[in-house]
């Protein structure tokens, strides 16, 4: 899958993607007669004009068979928007490419481009009845704005739109992330996640397994194959840490209360640790201080765990 800037010659393909996606998505939401009458030719002309003006900015997802999805974005068109508010005007992916990660990749490009254009927030409008799109936007980090709801008419039918918003500041756990920083040291990359040794070694061997394939905040937002791969990575990481440290017990937890990005906490437990017999998350600061070990010892532990990943 190739994500690239749209060209004027893509106008018809973009129109075809929109018409087919509308007909699949809005069946049962908008009148059948309206959906059946949608014209690729008319939309091709409108998209051609927009592409020639380069407004809004448009990117396409392209497979061997041609354009299978696209996204359009720019400054917000809403009357109450600030100068730093961007807008996702539209995102469409052909039905046969739903749940393949294509939409997520288009959003990642738009997010990076909006940040580069000095926008700090992105908004979008979605039909209230479009539950599939709402799930996608929530998984991408958007949340509905209270009180931002309006009625519009499409095909002679009144429907309601809801505005969603998302802060564009990148998540510190999004990939690509630094291999080493003040919080962790890189151990290894697995099938869909990467393993890091925490700098805080109050609980010796405490590691983080971070999801790499996009920004996902909740486990139920994963496709079945992603869930299976993430679980397989957890098995491999847990086994490597267990072999390296031989703890008396292992805690494995998926929280996301502070940083909303999928990551497993893998915590070896020893009978001599500060909270043996209880969860580490209820500790007082005195019971879980920042414990740094010597750099040479930290790196040796990284190598020891890394050796168990294969």
DSSP state of 292: P
For 72-87, the pLDDT digits (tens) are 999 999 999 999 999 9
Structure tokens at 32: 């059948």
Of 17, 136, 8, 123, which Cα lies nearest the Cα of 70? 17
For 58-116, the pLDDT digits (tens) are 999 999 999 999 999 999 999 999 999 999 999 999 999 998 989 999 998 999 899 88
The overall pTM is greater than 0.75? no
Determine the pLDDT at residue 283. Answer: 60
Separation of alpha carbons 279 and 115, rounded Å: 39
- 174-192 mean pLDDT: 94
Percent share of the chain, pLDDT over 90: 75
State yes or no: pLDDT of 214 exceeds 90. Answer: no
Residues 6+ apart with CB under 8 A from 246: none
Domains within the chain, CATH numbers bracketed: 2-167 (3.40.630.30), 184-307 (3.30.428.10)
pLDDT, averaged across the chain: 92
Determine the pLDDT at residue 171. Answer: 78
Determine the pLDDT at residue 60. Answer: 97
Separation of alpha carbons 207 and 236, rounded Å: 13
The pairing of strands 157-167 and 263-269 is: unpaired
Determine the pLDDT at residue 260. Answer: 76
Most confident of 11-25, 138-152, 157-171, 248-262: 11-25
Determine the pLDDT at residue 302. Answer: 98
């Amino acid at each position: 899958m190739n994500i690239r800037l749209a060209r004027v010659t893509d106008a018809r393909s973009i129109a075809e993607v929109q018409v087919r996606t509308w007909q699949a998505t809005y069946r049962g939401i908008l009148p059948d007669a309206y959906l059946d009458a949608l014209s690729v030719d008319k939309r091709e002309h409108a998209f051609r004009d927009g592409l020639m003006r380069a407004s809004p900015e448009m990117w396409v997802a392209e497979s061997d068979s041609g354009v299978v999805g696209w996204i359009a974005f720019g400054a917000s068109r809403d009357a109450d928007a600030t100068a730093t508010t961007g807008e996702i005007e539209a995102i469409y992916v052909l039905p046969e490419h739903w749940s393949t990660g294509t939409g997520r990749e288009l959003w990642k490009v738009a997010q990076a481009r909006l940040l580069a254009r000095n926008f700090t927030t992105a908004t979008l409008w979605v039909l209230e009845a479009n539950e599939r799109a709402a799930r996608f936007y929530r998984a991408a980090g958007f949340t509905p704005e209270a009180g931002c709801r309006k009625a519009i008419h499409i095909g002679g039918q009144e429907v309601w739109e809801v505005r969603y918003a998302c802060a564009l500041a990148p998540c510190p756990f999004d990939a690509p992330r630094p291999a080493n920083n003040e919080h962790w040291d890189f151990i290894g990359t697995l099938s869909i996640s990467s393993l890091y040794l925490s700098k805080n070694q109050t609980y010796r061997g405490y590691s983080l397994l971070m999801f790499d394939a996009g920004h996902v905040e909740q486990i139920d937002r994963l496709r079945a194959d992603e869930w299976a791969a993430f679980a397989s990575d957890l098995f491999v990481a847990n086994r490597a840490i267990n072999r390296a440290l031989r703890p008396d017990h292992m805690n494995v937890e998926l929280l996301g209360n502070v940083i909303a990005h999928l990551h497993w906490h893998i915590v070896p437990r020893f009978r001599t640790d500060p909270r043996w017999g209880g969860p580490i998350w209820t500790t007082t600061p005195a019971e879980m201080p920042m414990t740094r070990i010597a750099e040479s010892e930290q790196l040796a532990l990284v190598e020891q765990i890394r050796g168990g990943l294969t």
